[in-house]
Amino acid sequence: MLTAAQTKHGARPEKEHGGDGTRTPSGRRSRTMPVNLPLFPHVKIDTDAQKLLVALPTLESRLPNKEPEIHYLRRFLRNRNLHLILRIYRQFRARQGSIRPAADFAVSQAADVYCEIRYRIEDPQVRELLGILSKPHMQALLFSHDKVACEDYEPRIDPVPSGAGDDETIIKIVRLIKNNEPLGATIYLNERTGCVEIARILHGGAAYRSGLLNAGDEIHEINGEPVRGLEPDKIVAMLSEVSGSVMLKLVPCMRTNIGRKTKLKVRCLFSFDPGTDEHIPCREAGLPFKMGDILEIVNDEDATWWQALRVEEPVPTNTDVPVPVPVPHSRSAPATTPGSGGTVTPVPARLVPSKHYQESVEVMRRVKLREARNPPRSISPCRYSPKIPKQTRLRKTMYHIVQSGVFSDFDTDEIPTYEEVELYRPKQPLKVFRPIIFIGPPGIGRNELKRRLKASSPQHFEEVVPYTSREKRPHEEDGKEYNFLTREDMESQIIAQKFVEYGEYKGNLYGTSLESIKSVIQKSKVCLLAPHTQALKFIRTAELRPYIIFIKAPGMERMKYTRLEQHARATHTETTPPFSAEELRDITEMSAKMEERYSHFFDAVIVNDDLHEAAAALIKLAAKIEREDQWVPVGWAY
């Protein structure tokens, strides 16, 4: 046992696989570091591996900067599976000559048998045999059998190609067997060195699975052809032309940057088309997505391009937009490997903009848009932040909320990129219901639809009773139409942030309190609310878990047809005349603007065209929310 040498060289205690790391195989406690002792007493440690383990501390002292590599070697040499494989190998070696294989072509024999019998599926025994032969493990077993029968134990390494430069001290020769699947790596020209390097390995792709290529490796030859000085596009073309065996001569990257792997599920708050992005390193490797799609980010080590896989939506999110279906993978990513007998190859990850990159792109877009709208003039740099007295600003906001419902700008500084999500599975019987929030331009029909939903099950749905400072009218009951408060009380509650929205109309304050929403939820009812968009920042919380539905205008022609025919009118005063064509145009335009600006908050969209159809879609959706799994922001799925 080597313990003295290890102590001398300062090897540190190390724990692995839950072993206590302090017992010898015989169970005695060792006072010195037992890094070379097996932690699996039932697996006999291989003597060759043991020798290598013993030599490691010496190596460590000679190569002080190679700590990660030596640590890796130590783990590898202590791996239980390695010892089992070495044991099997020794057994074979020991019996060499005493057992002879009947054949060394079991794979092709199995394939022949399969082809011969595959149409006789009416016979249950044939069916069973077909099932066995198509199992990946069976195929792997037959493949291993042939390898052993041919005594093909050694890894075959091609001779180092001639012409390797004298200054190249370390060269890595990698041979890959390539089918139609692409390599699953992106490359770029390192302008400093003039070499083409592997920029990134796509998670799950062929290069990733081989484990032989790393980001940062310089590509020097492909199948004996020198590639130094060639454009990356040429190299990509060369790689896509070859099939079968591809031999790469590489200078390996010496960086020990392992890369941060992650398993983050996110909802996309923007849409992305790799075909139109001029900065993506490889268009074919890009993953197109639409706003609302769910992705799994599998690698976010790169500052600009993350690697992601598509996750299927558990339920449709938009009633007017088809359910997002997985985008068929182009030639770059077949789901199965041809000839693999149905073995599913993991779909390689593809590139999506990182959060940081998307924010920069969006900032640039907004700056350009603003410049196009307001060409810069040589005036005060304070132009964009005029000094409005605080009091005036507050009043103006209050007025807007009640009167016209113009946009809030609470979220303009927050650029929508990705939102981390988790799956919420409503547990039956459901006791806590998600409030349903109706968002849309004033006059589109939010209250009409809310009323119809409530009427479909008055015991189940409940509207929030708003607060007001106006005088109670004789027919009104406190707590029924409104909760009545004095102006002073309302103002102090507004200052204490008790209201999710509030505003002033004809000299009176109106508002919706957070407590009244919570009290509906606590009654095990579905709270219905049609607030201003500005209220979303108070409502869209893990505590309330709202389901936000956007009520969308159907387009000008349909607006006129449905509303003018019905003599529809705004409902916030009793005396307003029916909508004019002008007002309907305003509603339609505002609907489009709201959708553009806020759609990343919407869980569903209902187009309010025919009122009966829209109401029916809403009732159906409300039932679904209570039953079906939904992706919700992380922290909401309690």
| Residue numbers at the binding site for ligand ATP (CB under 6 A) | 440, 442-448, 530, 562-563, 566, 568-572, 608, 611, 614
Q: Which are the contacts of 595, defined by CB distance < 8 A and separation ≥ 6?
A: 550, 552, 602, 605
Q: Tell the smallest beta-carbon distance from residue 502 to ligand ATP (Å).
A: 15
Half-sphere exposure of 510 (CA within 13 A, CB side): 20
- In angstroms, what is the minimal distance from the CB of 565 to ligand ATP? 7
Residues 530/447, Cβ–Cβ less than 8 Å: yes
Residues 6 or more apart in contact with residue 2 via CB below 8 angstroms: 36, 53, 54, 57
Can you read off the two tokens belonging to residue 375?
A: 């060409």
As a whole number of angstroms, the distance between CA 183 and CA 230 comes to 18
CB count in 10 Å sphere of residue 362: 15
Nearer to ligand ATP, 185 or 587 (CB): 587
521-524, long-range: CB within 8 Å, 24+ apart, which pairs? 521/432, 521/433, 521/435, 523/462, 524/431, 524/432, 524/433
Nearest distance from residue 449's CB to ligand ATP, in Å? 7
Minimal distance, residue 567 CB to ligand ATP, in Å: 8
Give 247 or 564: the residue with its C-beta nearer to ligand ATP.
564
Task: Considering the complex, state which of residue 309 and residue 614 has its C-beta at the smaller distance from ligand ATP.
Answer: 614
* Beta-sheet pairing, 294-299 with 436-439: unpaired
Give 423 or 570: the residue with its C-beta nearer to ligand ATP.
Answer: 570
Alpha carbon 102 to its chain centroid, in Å, reads 51
CB of 447 to ligand ATP, least distance (A): 3
Q: Which is nearer to ligand ATP, 98 or 573 (CB)?
A: 573
d(CA 302, CA 216) in angstroms, rounded, equals 13
How far is residue 416's CA from residue 271's CA, in Å, rounded to a whole number?
10
Find residue 344's DSSP bridge partners. Answer: 336
Whether the bond between 429 and the residue before it is cis, its omega within 30 degrees of 0, is yes
CB of residue 569 to ligand ATP, shortest distance in Å: 5
CB of 515 to ligand ATP, least distance (A): 22
CB nearer to ligand ATP: pick between 599 and 630: 599
Q: Which residue lies nearest ligand ATP, judged by its C-beta?
A: 445
Which residue number, 198 or 594, has a Cβ lying nearer to ligand ATP? 594
**Rounded to whole angstroms, how far apart are CA atoms 618 and 605?**
10
Return the half-sphere exposure (C-beta side, CA atoms, 13 A cut-off) of residue 21: 11
Q: Which is nearer to ligand ATP, 53 or 614 (CB)?
A: 614
211 close to 355: Cβ distance less than 8 angstroms: no
Q: How far is the CB of 436 from ligand ATP (least distance, A)?
A: 14
CB of 559 to ligand ATP, least distance (A): 9
The nearer residue to ligand ATP, 78 or 552, going by C-beta atoms, is: 552
